[in-house]
Amino acid sequence: METNPSPIMQSQNLDFFYGSFKALEQIDMNILPQRVTALIGPSGCGKSTFLRCLNRMNDTIPGTRVEGKITLDGQDIYAEDMDVTELRQRVGMVFQKPNPFPQSILDNVAFGPRVLGMVDGRVGLDELVERSLRQAALWEVVKDKLQHNALDLSLGEQQRLCIARVLAVQPEVILMDEPASALDPIATGHIEDLIAELKALYTIVIVTHNMQQAARVSDFTGFFWLGKLVEFNETPALFTTPKEELTESYITGRAG
């Protein structure tokens, strides 16, 4: 892997508005491939809003608008000719609370590939489902109950299933919005181990309130405060020798 590969995604002079309220101001960030980028900061600081800008999930909220630019492989994702369905295939989202569909485990993982016409025939679909579940470290748990209702799984298993569902459409980037905040410590550990394994194949951006988690799982960290990106750096440097006084105040608990 290159020491400093070219960014897979870039945010340039990004402003984001909910109506007249400016929620993000002049966000510049390079997201490098096959790295984990963590976004930290207090509640309401803009980190989840920024995450949702990366695959245009905010488009579903009336009255929102973006100024500036976000690119994926050099392509402006807010350009008029951007296929948003294709974008969300390439940049998948794992939400804070597990949200499996109320159907079988197999049908959950197969949903995206079926809709997108990604596989021909049952054998190809079965292989894709197995591969995705293996990548999500869930195959050994569910291989004998693929027809069981996904809602019968534990919360931690449901979240890994949701990750498998994202993996099944073969994304380039995976966005995770506090993926372990609803989970117990053991399930959280499983998710963190999974993130470490997945970054060999995928680019991951994770929002977390847990600074210890950011320090454990990420290569780069961005600290948000009141809609601004105060500091962005390699994770060890940001946590041990922050450049900004506000960053230091936040990570030492004096602010936020």
pTM for this predicted structure:
0.93
Does domain 9-98+172-251 correspond to CATH entry 3.40.50.1370?
no
Residues 6+ apart with CB under 8 A from 21: none
What's the CA gap between 81 and 194, in Å, rounded?
35
What's the CA gap between 86 and 78, in Å, rounded?
13
The one-letter code for the residue type at 19 is G
What's the CA gap between 171 and 87, in Å, rounded?
9
User: What pLDDT sits at residue 1?
Assistant: 43
User: What pLDDT sits at residue 29?
Assistant: 98
Strand 21-31 and strand 9-18: the pairing is antiparallel
User: What pLDDT sits at residue 123?
Assistant: 65
Residue 98: which of 9, 28, 160 has the closest Cα? 160
Hey, where are the domains in the chain?
Answer: 9-98+172-251
Q: Which two tokens stand for residue 227?
A: 């809609």
What's the CA gap between 5 and 33, in Å, rounded?
7
Q: What are the Cα distances from residue 124, in Å, to 103, 171, 190, 202?
A: 20, 18, 28, 22
pLDDT tens over the chain, length 256 residues:
446 789 999 999 999 999 999 999 999 999 999 999 999 999 999 999 999 999 999 999 999 999 999 999 999 999 999 999 999 999 999 999 999 999 999 999 999 999 888 877 676 888 999 999 999 999 999 999 999 999 999 999 999 999 999 999 999 999 999 999 888 899 899 999 999 999 999 999 999 999 999 999 999 999 999 999 999 999 999 999 999 999 999 998 887 6
User: What pLDDT sits at residue 55?
Assistant: 96
Q: Is 192 exposed, middle or buried (0-12, 13-18, 19+ CB in 10 A)?
A: middle
